[in-house]
Homo-oligomer: A and B are copies of this chain.
Amino acid sequence: MTTQQLAGATVAPQANVYFDGKCVSHSLSWPDGTKKSVGVILPATLTFRTGAPEVMECVAGSCHYRLQGTDAWLGCHAGERFEVPGQSSFDIRVDEAFHYICHFG
């Protein structure tokens, strides 16, 4: 099920700009300490490193991703999600804009 809205969020107004703007996100937090970000990845193939574990939820568009230590490129479409361990990395290949929510922790 795709998350349609994120309510009650505190929004950091300054964007996170990665890879010359191929990825732009805004950080969100909640009074209970929950942290997420909402972002978009434009067509590109990129590698991201994780600190905390992450769940990447696709809200629109699609991507292919490959987790560190694996060979397979897997697809992720709107309404789907994939998990990335902490202190790891993943490759992501985007052919059309991939809109996501990143759930941390």
Contacts and interface: CB of A to CB of B under 8 A. Distances in A.
A72 interface: no
Contacts of A42: 17, 20-21
How many identical subunits does the complex contain?
Answer: 2
Interface in A57-105: 59-60, 97, 99-101
B17 A10 contact: no
B13 A11 contact: no
A15 B39 contact: yes
Given A21-B21, A24-B24, A26-B38, A5 B10 contact: yes
Interface string A17-50: 1001110101010000000001110100000000
Contacts of A40: 14-15, 17, 21, 24
Contacts of A38: 11, 13, 15, 26
Interface of A: 3-15, 17, 20-22, 24, 26, 28, 38-40, 42, 59-60, 97, 99-101
